[in-house]
Chain A
Amino acid sequence: MTVDVDATSVWPEDQQDVAEAIVANWFVREGATVEEGETVCEMQVEKVSVDVPAPRSGELTEILVGEGAEFTRGEPLARIEPA
């Protein structure tokens, strides 16, 4: 059962009324081993950069939103196969 990487938990307090963001940078590639809490990507909401952590340790199997692509809050950014 895979776990979604989701930016909702780190969405800035003062941007709660904003639903769209973009992925600025991925710091791991598909197939990488990640640890819970490790920053896997950086998103940008209304010019504010926010680090998005891995929700679980495991293998990041699939990136769903690429660099420069827009997404809406709650949309999964990647999938992790828990270790």
Chain B
Amino acid sequence: MSENIKKFLYVNRKAPYGTIYAQEALEVVLIGAAFDQDVSLAFLDDGVFQLTKGQDTKEAGLKNFSPTFRALGDYEVTKLYVEQESLDERGLTLDDLQDIQYEDEDDDYEEKPSIIVVSRAAMADVMADQDVVLSF
């Protein structure tokens, strides 16, 4: 880790298809991943809806970008913080979300979960620990 590495947090607070925010955030995350920074994603409020499994946009005529979340590990984006209270408020559990994993190159490429469910207070700590916060 060079000392030029900064902690970047991408904050996702919007549902996936009603606005372009969610898709744009994902684009920016993928672009940003090329810069070898310490990247995390936060999902809170309606942002947790971005991670639901079984999204089928065929009939709606929209691009289903949800599979891209499972590719983030290949770009060394391995920390997806999801707020417990936001899940609870929407009647969701971890089981409703995609199983997103990454291969840990420091641990014999063992597959590990990327999603980290945190309380609202812990999410506030994550936010306060960043060098740069980008909101979508």
Partners in one complex: no
Q: Which B residues are within 8 Å of any A CB, using their own CB? A: none
Q: Which A residues are within 8 Å of any B CB, using their own CB? A: none
